[in-house]
Amino acid sequence: MSTPPVQRDHTTTLAAESLLREHPDALVCGISSDGLIVPIPGPVARWGQAAIEGRAVPDVVVAPDRKTVFNLWQRVQEEGAVQGKVRLLSKPSRWMTLHFLDIREAHDVLLCVILPSKEEGEQKDGDTEELPPSAPRFSTVMEDEFGKVLHCDEAFAQMFGYTTEEVLGESVLDQIHPEDQGRVVEGWLAMISTRRDQHTRLRRRRKDGSWMWVDTTLHNFLNEPGRHHVLVELIDVSAEMAVQEALQQREELLRHLLDAISDGLLQFDTERNVLFHNARLLQILQSAPDAGPDALPPAAADLGTGTAAPTARSLLSSLTPEALTVFETALGRVLDEGVDQDLEADFLPPSSERRRARMSIRALLRGGEVSGAITSVVDITDSAKARAELEKRATFDALTGAHNRSSILGALARELNRDDTSKTAIVYIDLDGFKGVNDTLGHAAGDELIVLIAERLRDVSRGADDVGRLGGDEFLVLLRDIPGAEVAMNVAHRISAVLSCDFVLSSGPLNLRASVGVACADANTITAEALVQSADAAMYASKVQGQGLPILESAAS
């Protein structure tokens, strides 16, 4: 079972913090990826520990122990946290415990911590009394073919607290933790049938009732003349297991935290394989991942469940095809360039309507290189709808659905500021006698008429044009990319004609006329305000003419 990288990195960082907090007398240093000693980053909390000085850690230990340092260095790259016994050049008679912890994900360095050891009768500096020797960590037992003890050495008695007489003739299963007895029997039968050594890690009971974790090796000598026994070698690994259990507890806490947060999480390696996802991701996207033929091997199992991790496409199956394409493009940029990306994506859960998610993709770095990416996913459907409604209110007239004054004038300004040779025109429309409609038929009829006018303006405008309501009974039609003023005048004549036809209101038919002014200009030659003033002047000329015919402002043509 492999711990997901995002999980292991967090637990290793927590373990390093705990180790430093509990051992202010330790020696510490940071180590770069090339093995050289570097300063410890400021964010790493310290409790008065002295710094290890030198070029590299092997330089500060005695020569026979440098191989141990190199072995630990190789192991920490894969395991994240390792420890071993070494002697320092400054104190060659004392054994020290050296820890390597990989905290590069959080702080871009590995951490070396060297702790004083009191094992094997050693003394702390300043101690005057001789310390009693600690219990041995290795012992042997001889057992018969039925697993009963024939002999045990003195070290066994010291490790477990029994006298030799108390264990002779007793069954070994009586000393094994109930949860481990099945593996013991399997190992014993495998040793008998294959005649090969068998290795098992299990818990054996001490005389005081406590349990000790031991690595157990079975050697089959049952068929050798003069021996006829099984030799059992026991190594005390209780300290290692205590650290592992502490890490497992922290991992369990982290698991609960990752599942409890409101964001969905999805981690990728550089090949876009899924390394981790939390339960919240599935709740948000309402996807049901399948471990298909292209799923990851058990080494990438999800949160230590032992099952193959699902594929990215199965986890993101509810995204729309367009959203999935945008996400994959953004993920590629994060993995290839290390550039963080934020995007919004629509998804279609099986049990509900189209929804929207915000996806934030962040690069994961190791040694300055991109080692993967992690994505957080948040359902923003409600806020997106609220934002869209606000944008709609800020852009469109509530009565007619046409662009409001600020929106249509802003669109006109953008067209006139284009860096090309495009030509833009506007048609300014003002209804003749609209005040009389409100006075005689009421404001409801006036509103009904304004809605019908906006519909007719949209019907006769070109597809790329915008219809805007400036206020009251005044409208503006924006014509983009026209070849010349004659096109604008053709549109204006259609507008005049369609507004001269009868309008059927709830109160009955109504006939009226509109004054229409046209202005046209090249990009970057006039401001939006000036062009509107030209069209407004042309509209007033049309009103004075009194025939409902459009007039082109000659000064702007």
Residue pair 27/49 in contact (Cβ under 8 Å)? The answer is yes
**In this predicted model, what pLDDT tens digit does every residue of 375-426 receive, in sequence order?**
999 988 888 788 777 777 878 888 988 999 999 999 999 999 988 888 999 9
Q: Rounded to an integer, what distance in angstroms lies between the CA atom of residue 369 and that of residue 360?
A: 20
- Percent over 70 (pLDDT), the chain: 89
CB within 8 A of 270, min separation 6: which ones?
A: 335, 370, 371, 372
Q: Whole-prediction pTM value?
A: 0.41
| Mean of all residue pLDDT scores within the chain | 84
CB within 8 A of 391, min separation 6: which ones?
A: none
**In this predicted model, what pLDDT tens digit does every residue of 171-182 receive, in sequence order?**
888 889 999 999
Adjacent-strand bridge partners of 113: 28, 99
Q: Rounded to an integer, what distance in angstroms lies between the CA atom of residue 74 and that of residue 91?
A: 25
Q: What is the pLDDT of residue 137?
A: 78
Alpha helices in 358-432 (DSSP H): 381-395, 405-416
Q: What is the pLDDT of residue 409?
A: 93
For 283, the 3-state DSSP assignment is helix
Task: Give residue 309's pLDDT band: very low, low, confident or very high (50, 70, 90).
Answer: low
Q: Rounded to an integer, what distance in angstroms lies between the CA atom of residue 103 and that of residue 20?
A: 13
**In this predicted model, what pLDDT tens digit does every residue of 77-94 receive, in sequence order?**
888 888 899 999 888 888
290: pLDDT strictly greater than 60: no
- Percent over 90 (pLDDT), the chain: 41
**In this predicted model, what pLDDT tens digit does every residue of 321-331 receive, in sequence order?**
999 999 999 99
Domain residue spans of the chain: 5-116, 138-241, 261-383, 396-556
Taking the mean position of all CA atoms in its chain, how far away is CA 336?
17
Q: Rounded to an integer, what distance in angstroms lies between the CA atom of residue 76 and that of residue 69?
A: 11
Task: Give residue 111's pLDDT band: very low, low, confident or very high (50, 70, 90).
Answer: very high
Task: Give residue 136's pLDDT band: very low, low, confident or very high (50, 70, 90).
Answer: confident
Mean pLDDT of 229-254: 81
Adjacent-strand bridge partners of 91: 88
Q: What is the pLDDT of residue 131?
A: 37
CB within 8 A of 64, min separation 6: which ones?
A: none
For 403, the 3-state DSSP assignment is strand
Q: What is the pLDDT of residue 128?
A: 36
Question: How is the chain split among helix, strand and coil, in percent rounded to 5?
Answer: 40, 30, 30
Sheet holding 513-522, edge to edge: 466-471, 474-479, 423-432, 513-522, 551-552
**In this predicted model, what pLDDT tens digit does every residue of 448-470 receive, in sequence order?**
999 999 999 999 988 889 999 99
107: pLDDT strictly greater than 70: yes
Strands (E), 301-368: 341-347, 355-366
Q: Rounded to an integer, what distance in angstroms lies between the CA atom of residue 195 and that of residue 193?
A: 6
Q: Do domains 5-116 and 138-241 have the same CATH topology?
A: yes
Mean pLDDT of 289-318: 55
Q: What is the DSSP letter of 218?
A: E
Which residue in 491, 496, 501, 483 sits closest to 548, CA to CA? Answer: 496
> Could you give the angle at the alpha carbon of 320 between the alpha carbons of 316 and 322, nearest 5°?
110
Helix axes 443-460, 485-500, angle to 10 degrees: 140
**What number of residues does the chain have?**
557
For residue 89, give both structure tokens: 């050049």
Q: What is the pLDDT of residue 288?
A: 56
Q: Rounded to an integer, what distance in angstroms lies between the CA atom of residue 280 and that of residue 265?
A: 7
Q: Rounded to an integer, what distance in angstroms lies between the CA atom of residue 326 and that of residue 328?
A: 6
Residue pair 200/177 in contact (Cβ under 8 Å)? The answer is no
For 353, the 3-state DSSP assignment is coil
Task: Give residue 259's pLDDT band: very low, low, confident or very high (50, 70, 90).
Answer: low
Q: Give me the CATH code for the 261-383 domain, please.
A: 3.30.450.20
**In this predicted model, what pLDDT tens digit does every residue of 487-533 receive, in sequence order?**
999 999 999 999 988 888 888 888 888 999 999 999 888 999 999 99
CATH class of 138-241: alpha beta
Q: What is the pLDDT of residue 554?
A: 65
For domain 5-116, give the fold.
Answer: Beta-Lactamase (3.30.450)
Place of tokens 């360095």: 109
41: pLDDT strictly greater than 70: yes
Q: Give me the CATH code for the 396-556 domain, please.
A: 3.30.70.270
For 365, the 3-state DSSP assignment is strand
373: pLDDT strictly greater than 90: yes
